[in-house]
């Protein structure tokens, strides 16, 4: 399907249902009563590390399970850029990275960006931000759109955090755990607004589960003896391997084949990253990656408990029928797939995210939405929940009609972009397009192979079909659609950012 044709049509049809946004009626909610909104964001939580998914048999996430059971699981949720700051900017603005220009984790925010909470403020909402901002100048200082502000500088700390509360810095001590602190304060904010009979929007943004993983004391060691699940692509690529590995039935680990090049050639950058600190062979400068997986899962527990505490409060306060709760991760994360650790790339475990929506008074529970949604859809969705049309600059679409069971036109593909970073040179500038069946990955400015996968027959992305004769027409079509998307959204220029530090490699020491 031609992107230039479908996108304006989708926008026009979506705009038509948005015209009636303020007249939407919800079960159990008076028409003149505004919906409360709670948006919970985690860091680096991949899409399938939730108990109910069954990927990790021993992982416990009862609150996420509850959201899926009583709400909706957005099964195919993706980010447009798998990196914290660009993704968070897309969440707040409803725009692509090449439009909002937040393309890395350190560059200042461009002037003129408008965040969706600013529109909610004008509609009478009391807005509160609690947690990790991690975008732009990232000083920890209050940002536009929030009546109440609690944040920290950069990555912050898991224990004894230093928090900026409405412009005043407060140092917490006595082994204060940041996930618990932020949750308690967010619930306190909701209680205050409920007592004042004011609609609220809470943006609860956790540090978890970002490295350096530190679980709450009550969860430390709870998974230390659990077996790690090895992905089928663990040995792809690995030097001197050609045949796809098989799973050893005794150990559950992939057994190496021989020389994995030829028809299934993987990009050289993947081979190089495998041997870096973002690969399983030397993960995190020598920390065993299997131990890191367990620490990661232990740290997820407190994020799940945070979700549970929020849901419990809403139910106890009688607000569950008039509140929508969305939980999602800011990007995915690789744990051994293609021998990699980290995100940034366009493989499934990096670009897919957990997304759960809970609203007992708004839509029926136990739903699974199969349509592909993205982080750019959050702002339009929450604005429609508030009875507002999406802002003109927003390219995402509200998925509220999907939650309500309405049959509306929807995207049949997603697009991806990632721009090379000075401090993380292994991953090249990447563009991509994914449909329900195929994925095409294009690398810019690098002498390397591109990638093409049949996700229906190869969900683990083991067989790169970029050289397959029978797929050349599909590859050509997706290549054209990718560049049609970039051209039609003013994305044909790569945003460059200043680099003022010498490279750590001795070969470039002193060079800027």
How many Å apart are CA 184 and CA 178, to the nearest integer? 10
Distances (CA, A) of 80 to 12, 15, 173, 208, 418: 22, 22, 38, 21, 8
100-107, long-range: CB < 8 A, 24+ apart: 101/495, 102/135, 102/136, 103/419, 103/495, 103/497, 104/419, 104/421, 104/497, 105/134, 105/135, 105/421, 106/138, 106/497, 107/136, 107/497, 107/498
How many Å apart are CA 159 and CA 165, to the nearest integer? 17
- Which helix (H) or strand (E) segment holds residue 292: the answer is helix 289-316
Helices 3-18 and 472-488: angle between axes, nearest 10 degrees: 50
How many Å apart are CA 382 and CA 399, to the nearest integer? 9
What is the share, in percent, of the chain residues with pLDDT greater than 90? Answer: 78
In this model, does residue 12 exceed pLDDT 70?
Answer: no
3-state secondary structure of 488: helix
- State the Cα angle at 115 between 110 and 116, rounded to 5°: 160
Any idea how long the chain is? 512
Give the other-Cβ count within 10 Å of 410's Cβ. 18
What confidence tens digit (pLDDT) does each residue in 182-199 have?
A: 999 999 999 999 999 999
Domain spanning 34-222+288-411: CATH 3.40.720.10: yes
Helices 178-195 and 289-316: angle between axes, nearest 10 degrees: 20
Please give the pLDDT value at position 24: 52
In this model, does residue 134 exceed pLDDT 70?
Answer: yes
In this model, does residue 365 exceed pLDDT 60?
Answer: yes
Enter the tokens of residue 416: 């991806």
The single-letter DSSP state of residue 26 is: B
Please give the pLDDT value at position 33: 81
Mean pLDDT computed over 329-350: 97
How many Å apart are CA 255 and CA 249, to the nearest integer? 10
In this model, does residue 452 exceed pLDDT 50?
Answer: yes
- How is 170-215 classified by DSSP, letter by letter? EE--TT-BHHHHHHHHHHHHHHHHHHTT--EEEEEE--TT-SS---
Q: What are phi and psi of 439, to 5 degrees?
A: -135, 130
Confidence of residue 495 (pLDDT cuts 50, 70, 90): confident
In this model, does residue 257 exceed pLDDT 80?
Answer: no
Confidence of residue 248 (pLDDT cuts 50, 70, 90): low
- State the Cα angle at 279 between 274 and 283, rounded to 5°: 145
What confidence tens digit (pLDDT) does each residue in 284-332 have?
A: 998 999 999 999 999 999 999 999 999 999 999 999 999 999 999 999 9
Confidence of residue 249 (pLDDT cuts 50, 70, 90): low
Q: What are phi and psi of 241, to 5 degrees?
A: -125, 130
Report residue 223 CA to chain centroid gap.
25
In this model, does residue 6 exceed pLDDT 50?
Answer: no
In this model, does residue 244 exceed pLDDT 70?
Answer: no
What confidence tens digit (pLDDT) does each residue in 65-82 have?
A: 999 999 999 999 999 999
Burial of 321 (0-12, 13-18, 19+ CB in 10 A): middle
Average pLDDT, the chain: 89
Burial 276-314 (b: 16+ CB within 10 A, else e): bbbbbeebbeebebeebbbbbbbbbbbbbbbbbbbbebb
Distances (CA, A) of 429 to 81, 135, 332, 484, 494: 11, 20, 18, 18, 9
Say if residues 251 and 245 touch (Cβ distance below 8 Å): no
How many Å apart are CA 86 and CA 101, to the nearest integer? 8
What confidence tens digit (pLDDT) does each residue in 261-276 have?
A: 455 678 989 989 998 9
Please give the pLDDT value at position 405: 93
Domain extents for the chain? 34-222+288-411
Mean pLDDT computed over 463-492: 96
Please give the pLDDT value at position 290: 95
Helices 84-93 and 378-385: angle between axes, nearest 10 degrees: 30
Please give the pLDDT value at position 512: 39
Report how far apart the first and last C-alpha atoms of the chain are (Å, whole number): 44
Enter the tokens of residue 248: 């050893």
Query: Comparing 36-50, 53-67, 231-245, 475-489, which segment has the lowest mean pLDDT?
Result: 231-245
What confidence tens digit (pLDDT) does each residue in 419-445 have?
A: 999 888 899 999 999 999 999 999 998
């Amino acid at each position: 399907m031609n992107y230039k044709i479908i996108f304006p049509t989708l926008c026009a049809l979506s705009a038509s249902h948005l015209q009636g946004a303020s007249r939407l009626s919800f079960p159990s909610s008076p028409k003149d009563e505004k919906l409360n909104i709670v948006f919970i964001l985690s860091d680096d939580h991949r899409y399938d590390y939730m108990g109910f998914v069954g990927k990790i048999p021993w992982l416990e996430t009862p609150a996420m399970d509850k959201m899926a059971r009583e709400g909706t699981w957005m099964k195919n949720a993706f980010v447009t850029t798998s990196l914290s700051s660009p993704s968070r900017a897309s969440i707040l603005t409803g725009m692509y990275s090449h439009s909002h220009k937040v393309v890395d984790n350190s560059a200042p925010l461009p002037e003129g960006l408008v965040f969706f909470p600013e529109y909610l403020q004008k509609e009478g909402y009391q807005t509160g931000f609690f947690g990790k901002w991690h975008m732009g100048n990232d000083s920890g200082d209050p940002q536009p759109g929030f009546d109440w502000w609690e944040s920290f500088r950069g990555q912050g700390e898991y224990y004894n955090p230093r928090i900026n509360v409405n412009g005043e810095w407060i140092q917490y001590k006595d082994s204060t755990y940041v996930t618990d602190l932020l949750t308690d304060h967010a619930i306190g904010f909701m209680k205050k607004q409920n007592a004042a009979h004011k609609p609220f929007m809470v943006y609860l943004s956790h540090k978890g589960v970002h490295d350096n993983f530190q679980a709450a004391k009550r969860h430390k060691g709870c998974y230390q003896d659990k077996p790690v699940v090895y992905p089928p692509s663990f040995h792809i690529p690995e030097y001197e391997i050609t045949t796809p590995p098989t799973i050893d039935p005794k150990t559950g680990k992939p057994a190496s084949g021989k020389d994995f090049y030829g028809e299934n050639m993987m990009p050289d950058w993947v081979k190089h990253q495998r041997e870096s600190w973002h690969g399983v062979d030397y993960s995190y400068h020598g920390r065993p990656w299997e131990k890191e997986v367990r620490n990661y899962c232990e740290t997820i527990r407190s994020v799940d408990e945070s979700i549970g505490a929020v849901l419990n409060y809403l139910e106890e306060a009688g607000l569950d029928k008039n509140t929508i709760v969305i939980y999602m991760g800011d990007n995915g994360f690789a744990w051994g797939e293609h021998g990699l650790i980290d995100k940034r790339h366009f493989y499934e475990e990096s670009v897919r995210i957990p997304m759960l929506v809970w609203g007992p008074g708004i839509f029926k529970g136990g739903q699974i939405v199969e349509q592909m949604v993205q982080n750019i859809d959050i702002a339009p969705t929450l604005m429609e929940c508030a009875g507002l049309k999406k802002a003109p600059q927003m390219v995402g679409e509200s998925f509220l009609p999907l939650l309500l069971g309405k049959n509306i036109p929807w995207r049949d593909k997603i697009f991806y972009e990632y721009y090379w970073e000075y401090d993380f040179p292994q991953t090249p500038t990447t563009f991509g397009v994914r449909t329900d069946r195929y994925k095409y990955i294009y690398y810019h400015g690098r002498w390397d192979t591109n990638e093409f996968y049949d996700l229906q027959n190869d969900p683990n992305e083991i067989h790169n079909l970029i050289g397959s004769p029978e797929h050349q027409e599909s590859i050509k079509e997706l290549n054209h659609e990718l560049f049609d998307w970039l051209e039609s959204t003013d994305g044909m220029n790569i945003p460059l950012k200043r680099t003022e530090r010498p490279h750590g490699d001795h070969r470039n020491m002193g060079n800027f």
